Amino acid sequence: MDSAVNSPSVDRASRIRNRRLFVATMASWLLVMAGAVAALRVADALPAAALGMPRGVRRFATLGDLQRTAGRRMPIPAYYPQTIEWPPSEQRFFPGGSAAIWCRQRSDGVPWLVIATAPTRPGVVAPQVLPASADLQRSDGALRGRPAVLSRIRSSDGALWQQIEWQGPHGIVLVRYRGTLDELMKIAGSMYE
């Protein structure tokens, strides 16, 4: 009887069963780990999605907090229409240096003016700090003798915006306004950079 238990065919069958058990255990472990990774990614994205914020964007309670984090002062207009609330309703920052302030219309609380900045390098304002939009038209222009780019934009909610972007002394400055081009130019022309 002992010879049957120690036979080569029993050892081989036992090794095969152990390998199958090992492979099944490893496959189960990998599935559990993949599920945990997926669950953590979803949990990481939920707060930003619930707030309607793109991933990586940080919000600040005050303009001063935003300026300290960005390492520069935000340009402030000397002129803005009385229909817009001041101080800004939102201050946003994205890693890499892009910062924006959002001002809402007094009557309905809809975002109406966005002033954004970015360092000279990378030379572009991160789209994460701006309302989602698509360019309709772009043209070269000037603001106070500096080259600028004028744009008409359609936001994701269908609203038309006017935008001007130029290189300021401390980086890129972008002003996006939901009103007329004339008012946008007054706002941008009155900027204290």
105 Cβ contact partners less than 8 Å away, ≥ 6 residues apart: 83, 84, 85, 111, 112, 178
Q: What digits encode the pLDDT tens for the residues 82-116?
A: 999 989 999 999 999 999 999 999 999 999 999 99
Q: Which residue has the higher pLDDT, 169 or 45?
A: 169
Q: What is the Cα–Cα distance from 66 to 100, expressed in whole angstroms? A: 9
Q: What digits encode the pLDDT tens for the residues 66-77?
A: 999 999 999 999
Q: What digits encode the pLDDT tens for the residues 163-184?
A: 999 999 889 999 999 999 999 9
Q: What digits encode the pLDDT tens for the residues 114-130?
A: 999 999 887 899 999 99
Which residues on neighbouring strands pair with residue 98, listed in sequence order? 94
Average confidence score pLDDT of the chain: 88
Q: What is the Cα–Cα distance from 165 to 138, expressed in whole angstroms? A: 11
